[in-house]
Structure 1
Amino acid sequence: MTTPNAPHIPWWKDAIVYQIYPRSFQDSNGDGIGDLRGIIRRLDYLKRLGVDVLWLSPIFASPNDDNGYDISDYRAIMSEFGTMADFDELLREVHARGLKLMLDLVVNHTSDEHPWFVESRADPRSDKRDYYIWRKGRNGQPPTRWQSYFSGSVWEKDERSGEYYLHLFSRKQPDLNWENPRVRREVHDMMRFWLDKGVDGWRMDTINMLSKHPDFPEGRPLPGTNLTDGQPHFLNGPRIHEFLQEMHREVLSHYDVMTVGETPGVSPAESALYCGFERGELNMVFHFEHVFLGDDAAERGKWSNPPLTLPAIKRVLASWQTGLHGRGWNSLYWDNHDQPRAVSRFGHDREYRVESAKLLCTVLLFMQGTPYIYQGQELGMTNVSFESIDHYKDIETLNAYKMLRDEHGWDDARILASVHARGRDNARTPMHWSGGANAGFTEGTPWIALNPNYPDINAEAAEADPNSVWHHYRDTIALRKSLPVVRDGTFTLLDAEHPTVFSYVRQDAHTRVLVVGHFCDRPGVYRIPSEFVDGEVLSNNYPTQELAQELQLRPYQALVIRARRKS
């Protein structure tokens, strides 16, 4: 029964999103590459887990320089993944199960094999020339010395015209010129094409990079290189909110869809400009503060793999919980296709793998916002440690290997240690479905090698074990959905500087819930607020717990305690 005059609650505020990396999820035809029909085969598994929305990393036609994030045709399916008929069937089957489907919008750049760029490069007089960002050099050098995210310069010289085109990522990913209104109309038309099919939303890749400073100023020098940091001139650029408000006005406002923008380099205050409830832009954004902790100050960025401390993680996540409360909406995640496995980065992926994977689930899912689970996270899948760089496929990793070896003198052992810790292929090894051949992922040869621990960590075994990480995720998802305080309540961080305990309180007018996570491989003692001593334990990743003010915590223990209502 609906309460009269009850406020409308957007469906995405109650949703749990599951990210699928199609290439590595499930192969259906034995070619070693995951595909759309493979996803169809596993929909019942996802329904059993209790998720609501499936987000697919790019499925569009692509030469795969950056695993699909270099798109050559926005209205065609990558041939390795199947056909448009396969996609239409997938969408029908998703909706038939009461689930929703979200696609990846990659419109900061295209592939250099996209017809727009082919024409833009071939004919400087073509109207497609201005679809991309072309500039003359300076004194025989590129227009700026900005460094690309994938190493080297962001500028590539076209020998025929003598001009340079901008690519913030690979040279095969030229940036679109969003200053051109025709480009924006092309993107809007493409979005309508998919939304009219019934797609339920968009994850928007590098969306805060669309607007570049028109003068392309030089960046600050980067130590140890002859390149500069151009990010202040293309992150959150001068017209970005104008572009997104136009997108919302022209396209998004006409559909009941979910949007999340990938926005590196934003603070909670800046994020409120993107996802503020009255802004008319996006529903939420992905920030990177917790996954990039220390990287900016490190000698070689993430490859230096600076140590993490729990107080730093807590400060970041708490700042987002309080900074957006009542103003905008949070996205919640530990890992994704660009990050190492959560249990290896933030937990303990050896003797306490199960306990710490459950802890990460509990601590994340009881915060305010929409949670994102990356494929295999619900199993506690771990990083992989390939013995040779030859086993890696990711362009970022391969470029970094060359740079760290040739320009900075690192030996292979040092480079591989960094890759094992932070490389993107950690998340891209095939999904573990069973302990059988190739983990049940394919009957052929997998496109990238499997993590050899799949006989011990796989979905078949996890569903059969009531104490598995999988069951903890399913139960925690159901518990979260039963507690309106998780969606609507305030967030209060406790003991911000405690070195091993992450604890916080969620509260609304009716309910107070305490979440305690012990990030340590040794037992500990933690003093909880007195009102929770006689409370109700709603979740515990260990079998039993005696409540006392001096709470006895076991390694990587996580509890959720509801305070008794006062009479």
Structure 2
Amino acid sequence: MEQSTQWWKNSVVYQIYPRSFNDSNGDGIGDLEGIIEKLDYLVELGIDVIWLSPIYKSPNDDNGYDISDYQDIMTEFGDLETWDRLITTMHEKGLKLVMDLVVNHTSDEHPWFQEAKKSKDNPYRDFYIWRPPNEEGKEPNNWLSFFSGSAWEYHEPTGEYYLHLFTKKQPDLNWENPDVRQKVYEMMRWWLDRGVDGFRMDVINLISKVEGLPDAPVTKPEDEFQWGSDYFANGPRFMEFMQEMKEEVLDHYDILTVGETGFVTPEEGKQFTNEDSGVLSMLFQFQHMDVDAQPGGQMGKWEEKDWKLTELKEIMSKWQVELFNKGWNSLYLENHDQPRSVSRFGDDGEYHAESAKMLATWLHMMQGTPYVYQGQEIGMTNVHFPSIDDYEDVEIRNLWQDMVVEKGHDPDKILKAIHEKGRDNARTPMQWDSSENAGFTSGTPWLKVNPNYDQINVEKERENSDSIFHYYKKLIALRKEHEVIVNGDHSLIWQEDEEVYAYKREHEGETLVVVTNWTGETIERPWPEDVSFDGASVMIHNYSGAPDASKEGITLRPYEAVVYHQK
């Protein structure tokens, strides 16, 4: 069935991590009232949709991704009455709301799990995945959790293990059980009927596991647990479950759906997001996020890897080309799980503004729905806290326990990896102004503020007409004005170049040429023969005075980005 409209193709989404966005009551934790206070700022930025990370009742073992009640609000964030006011105010201001849907797992404090662990014959037992110990009295298989160690936790009273691909307080739901699926669909309809405009579906392609839950092949003999993603990602019944969800829920509402789907290929991306037979509006793929990670599952992300620009080109252009007219991309460089992009791919020192604008240009001129993560629009950077005690994230803490405390790895090396890749880089409080705690809270923030808030904050960015913030405003506005940005095809220029990333977009007689310098050096390039600039104008540019396109070549300053437009 075709979508009734594709409003989400023209939209720009802004992700809010509520805990760190804006605290209205001084308890050090961001809240719904704090979001309401800042809606006019987001209207000014020009975004269309807000994606809200989980705000449901939760013991907060994984900052809200462990849900104990899907139909109530975490007390620190507010209540359902405040949520109703938030969505009403948003709709009045022309903004849409996408909620996080976390249904691969619940919290172990969810009433379903509380019942399930009472006995093996409890009606809710089969809502989760339980197995007896293996013949050696150990875990049922050797799967590794995303957050280090075994993916199984022993429950002594009933003598069985339950599966948790994340923390032990996040037991996996058993999607093979039709009652589980019906409960999920019922909950989804409840939110949609309250006015929600869509769902970002957390790790949704993990809901179908391979029958029999076999051991993962041993890649490192010294490791007890192995990365088992081939057995729990894009499993045999995934499309069947999603088709059912689509028929029972999604087809009845005009909404945006985006699946967080690690381990997917462009081929699967086309299958999942095809307008006629797909099951999602778009998905988050991770191939570009793994360009600087070593292979080897979850632990690979912490190991340094020298990467080449040509690798990134190959990944991004493959998704652009293969999904063209067959599916839909989401475009992102940051979220609550990723480090800050200007620190990761740009230069958060000398060329901070230039490189932040370059990365934004490069991404927003591609085909797909762009996602801006809170603070990205002002160039917020990674934070280098001096001690592990300054970090709150369960993934970081588990890594430290596993690698430093238990295995004796060099603490300085692990801390360096955390500085570069840790999830708390994205979770430091939003930097609103240069007052104490960056204007985020009048109390003590739940996570320390990045010390550079006196230099990088919303107030300063809004006052400076040449700032990263104002540049994002221009980029977002351009997408609304030029159909070629939304619908154009994609072809690489200088495919083998390791310093310049350039591409061309064409649609119904309109052409864009996007040229970006990914280095801190000045670079010259001769134009290829098939690039012509008759009547071209500069659409957007991150320096004053754009390079003259009528010459035989182009000279790019450090981290320079320019978009030429021909009609």
TM-score by length of 1: 0.97
* Unaligned ranges ≥5, structure 2: none
> Amino acid of the residue matched to residue 210 of structure 2?
H
1:16 aligns with 2:15: no
Q: 2:52 is matched with which residue?
A: 56
> Amino acid of the residue matched to residue 412 of structure 2?
A
Instruction: Give the alignment partner of residue 77 of structure 2, picking from 71, 75, 81.
Output: 81
Shift of 1:274: 1.1
After the TM superposition, which residues 266-415 of structure 1 pair with which residues of structure 2 at under 5 Å, given as runs? 266-297=264-295, 300-415=299-414
- In the aligned structure 2, how far is the partner of 1:308 from the partner of 1:53? 33
- The answer (yes or no) to whether the contact 1:493–1:504 under 8 Å persists in 2 is yes
Q: Deviations over 1:218-262 (max 9, x none)?
A: 102242411112110110000000000100100010011000000
> Amino acid of the residue matched to residue 188 of structure 1?
Y
- The answer (yes or no) to whether the contact 1:13–1:487 under 8 Å persists in 2 is yes
- The answer (yes or no) to whether the contact 2:353–2:467 under 8 Å persists in 1 is yes
- In the aligned structure 2, how far is the partner of 1:105 from the partner of 1:375? 19
- In the aligned structure 2, how far is the partner of 1:457 from the partner of 1:417? 23
> Amino acid of the residue matched to residue 543 of structure 1?
S
1:552 aligns with 2:555: yes
Shift of 1:308: 2.6
After the TM superposition, which residues 51-450 of structure 1 pair with which residues of structure 2 at under 5 Å, given as runs? 51-139=47-135, 140-223=137-220, 224-297=222-295, 300-450=299-449
- In the aligned structure 1, how far is the partner of 2:272 from the partner of 2:107? 27
RMSD between aligned alpha carbons?
1.3
Shift of 1:126: 1.2
- In the aligned structure 2, how far is the partner of 1:456 from the partner of 1:296? 34
Deviates more, 1:336-345 or 1:302-311: 302-311
- The answer (yes or no) to whether the contact 1:248–1:280 under 8 Å persists in 2 is no
- In the aligned structure 2, how far is the partner of 1:279 from the partner of 1:422? 36
> Amino acid of the residue matched to residue 544 of structure 2?
P
- In the aligned structure 1, how far is the partner of 2:532 from the partner of 2:5? 31
- In the aligned structure 2, how far is the partner of 1:402 from the partner of 1:274? 37
- The answer (yes or no) to whether the contact 1:379–1:470 under 8 Å persists in 2 is yes
Distance change (3 Å), C-alpha of 1:551 and 1:533: farther
Deviates more, 1:479-488 or 1:60-69: 479-488
1:538 aligns with 2:534: no
Distance change (3 Å), C-alpha of 1:154 and 1:546: closer
Deviates more, 1:342-351 or 1:527-536: 527-536
- In the aligned structure 1, how far is the partner of 2:371 from the partner of 2:20? 18
Shift of 1:556: 0.3
> Amino acid of the residue matched to residue 436 of structure 1?
S
- In the aligned structure 1, how far is the partner of 2:474 from the partner of 2:378? 14
Q: Name the SS of the counterpart of 1:184 in structure 2.
A: helix
- The answer (yes or no) to whether the contact 1:357–1:380 under 8 Å persists in 2 is yes
Deviates more, 1:545-554 or 1:196-205: 545-554
Q: Deviations over 1:38-68 (max 9, x none)?
A: 0000000000000000000000000000000
> Amino acid of the residue matched to residue 142 of structure 2?
R
Identity rate, percent: 51
> Amino acid of the residue matched to residue 124 of structure 2?
K
1:514 aligns with 2:519: no
TM-score by length of 2: 0.97
- In the aligned structure 1, how far is the partner of 2:407 from the partner of 2:355? 35
Deviates more, 1:524-533 or 1:110-119: 524-533
Shift of 1:295: 2.6
1:28 aligns with 2:24: yes
